[in-house]
Amino acid sequence: MPPSLSRAAFGVCLFLVVVAAKWATFDRFGSPMPDWDQWDAEASALLVPWLDDDPGFLGRLFAAHNEHRVVLTKLQALALTLANGQWDARLEAVVNALLHGLVAFGLWGMAARRWPGPPLAACWVLLAALTGLPLGWQNVLGGFHSQQYWLLGLSVATVALLPFARAGSARWWAGAAAAALALFSMGSGLLAAAAAGALTAVRWARRETPARDARATLALAAAVVGAGVLLRVEVEWHQAMKVRTAGDFLASIVHSLQWPWQQRDWAAVVLWLPWTLVALGRLRPPPAGRASPGPRDDHALFVTGLGGWVLLQVAATAYARGAGGGYPASRYMDTLALGVVANAFALLHLLTGERPRLVRGLGLVWLGLLGSGLVPLLRDTITPELHEARAYYRNAEGYLRRYLATADPAHLIPGPHLPYPSVEGLVDHLTHPGLRALLPVPLRTPLALPALDTEETGFRVNDARGWTTPAAPRRGLSPATAALDYGVTWGSHGATGVAERGTWRSAVLPAPERRWLRFETAGQPGAPGVALELRAADDDRLLGVVAPSREPGDGWRAAYVRAPAVPYRLVARDESERHWLAFSGPVEMGGLSHAAWQATKHANTLLTAALALSLALGLATLLRLQRRAG
């Protein structure tokens, strides 16, 4: 296999590993529910103006959210919502994983082109771990956090392209576009242009680039930085988070640089030593008499710029969020992980120098310190942080479902499990009928199912909406089956057993607006004599069978069926003396929401396959190298 094809194959495997790992994390701990900032930045500032044909929509799109102008995040959310017909944080998180996977793919490509050799295997594993593990779990679970990935990707592209390209070339314009777009990722997006400008100034001072190219790049960088300063905003409610003392500022920086360690300030020196050596070596005056720089010089300068950008981000975060000098929040850890990558690249660069044996020793110490810090960080991330996040999402979903089913604000209990700072604000958001119509599956109110016959025919209706106690009614359900607290259900379980039989038909229902219907089912749907079917209203032909992948028994299990394109009836049959069936009204689900659910549901299978493919590719590469050596 040609080297370029081999690099691409490893890059694809890395992309799949990262994406699948993030999807698997979301499947276990995440939720499609809009959360906190999404209600303001996406609902109020984006979706509602779009639905209302607000003439000021563009102004709202570019308006600041807190200190940031998250235009790219807003556009991504709007595009996904319009394409899906539903506002779904799971869909946003699935796409966010693709963005981070592309960042990992790009970093791998940059490393593999610059530093070939066996140490790249360790680099691949490191990239997979740093971008695939849920170290920045807030970004993995939060659909709104795409701005973190946009910032990373655009900034890396800016640093890798702009300082090294001839002014006016395609690569230069690509770097310029990345620098400009970074302004609309987060408030610190201007730092990408600042880092690129600094690298360009170094190359110009060392006469490594023509003056014309350097002046053009510096002018562009200055313009982007100036625009970023002009676009910058301050918000009163975040002033308390700003650093107050020089001590807190330095402590916040050190706590970021020692990542993934806590309580080990000295770790910052060791973990950033490789980058420091490369940066100092690259920035010192060039040897006398050297005619021109070589590729090795540009590689060292790229490493310097990549780590320098991370240092600028760390300083900016320490200034804006460094009150108390604490440790960085989870949402900043993907940026700190890029600092680790910069130091790994520095080690790769040093290995090609004059003292490879000494560098290998440093690399072993560096990897040992990094790994011994990542293990406890990952443990603490999963337990308790991710488990607490899962409990939060489940409770918050229940609050919102019960409120939407009953219109009673008493179900929105103030406290840590409310997905918005205030009950009043959340109720105000949900008064907009168009926004309510966009809500994702866990929150949507099931469609009403008017019965064709008013008399009960084996299936008994049960309405436990708003009930949160064991005393909730259970008509048509087994004694062990919990009543749904957000929707009406129909069940064939008798008061003394499962012997009740009959057929229930709904009135004619219009064709749904979205591509899938989701039912909650209990009992034994699909067992002999028991069925839940969608039938055409005009000729009673079978349109679909509602049955979950596994028998739910006394619990509830979701069943998905394609939405019919014609008016239909729902028909439930129970002709068995041993089995029973219960079901809820259907909830409409967008096509992309269903695809996102399937992606996260099967993420572990994809992850296993990607890891196996990566291992097979690695073994094949190792055998090929051994044959060449022999």
Domain spans, the chain: 147-233, 238-384, 388-432, 460-585
Question: Would the CA dihedral through 483, 489, 494, 495 be positive or negative?
Answer: positive
* Tokens 């469609």 found at: 447
417 vs 287: which has the higher pLDDT: 417
460-585: CATH architecture: Sandwich (2.60)
Q: Which two tokens stand for residue 609?
A: 């396959």
Over the range 74-108, which residues count as b (16 or more CB within 10 Å of their CB) and which as e? bebbbebbeebbbbbbbbbbbbbbebbbbbbbbbb
Confidence of residue 288 (pLDDT cuts 50, 70, 90): low
Q: In sequence order, what are the residues at sequence separation of 6 or more whose Cβ sits closer than 8 angstroms to the Cβ of residue 442?
A: 31, 32, 33, 397, 401
Any alpha helices (H) in 355-454, and if so which ranges? Answer: 356-380, 387-406, 423-429, 433-437
Helices 295-321 and 146-161, interaxial angle, to 10°? 150
Q: Is residue 289 predicted with pLDDT exceeding 60?
A: no
pLDDT score for 622: 83
Query: Taking the C-alpha atoms of 139, 142, 145 and 149 in order, what is their torsion angle to the nearest 10 degrees?
Result: 40
pLDDT score for 1: 61
For residue 295, whether the previous peptide bond is cis, meaning omega lies within 30 degrees of 0, is no
Confidence of residue 630 (pLDDT cuts 50, 70, 90): low
468 vs 569: which has the higher pLDDT: 569
The 3-state secondary structure of 117-180 reads: CCHHHHHHHHHHHHHHCHHHHHHHHCHHHHHHHHHHHHHHHHHHHHHHCCCCCHHHHHHHHHHH
pLDDT score for 293: 65
Q: Which of 76-85, 123-132, 315-324 has the lowest mean pLDDT?
A: 315-324
- Per cent of the chain over pLDDT 70 is 97
Q: Among residues 301, 64, 292, 280, which one has the least CA distance to residue 186?
A: 64
Q: Once rounded to an integer, what is the mean pLDDT over residues 434-445? A: 93
pLDDT score for 286: 66
Q: Is residue 410 predicted with pLDDT exceeding 60?
A: yes
Instruction: Report whether 561 contacts 504 (CB < 8 A).
Output: no
How would you classify the pairing of strands 516-523 and 553-562? Answer: antiparallel
Q: What is the mean pLDDT of the chain?
A: 92
Each residue's pLDDT tens digit, 541-579:
999 999 999 999 999 999 999 999 999 999 999 998 889
Amino acid present at 71: V
Q: Which of 423-427, 596-600, 617-621 has the lowest mean pLDDT?
A: 617-621
Each residue's pLDDT tens digit, 158-193:
999 999 999 999 999 999 999 999 999 999 999 999
The Cα 461–Cα 441 span in angstroms is 22
Q: Once rounded to an integer, what is the mean pLDDT over residues 258-279? A: 94
The Cα 583–Cα 581 span in angstroms is 7
Which run of H or of E encompasses 543?
strand 542-545
Residue 126: C-alpha distances to residues 20, 101, 123, 223, 359 (Å): 16, 14, 5, 36, 18
Q: Once rounded to an integer, what is the mean pLDDT over residues 298-311? A: 95
Confidence of residue 292 (pLDDT cuts 50, 70, 90): low
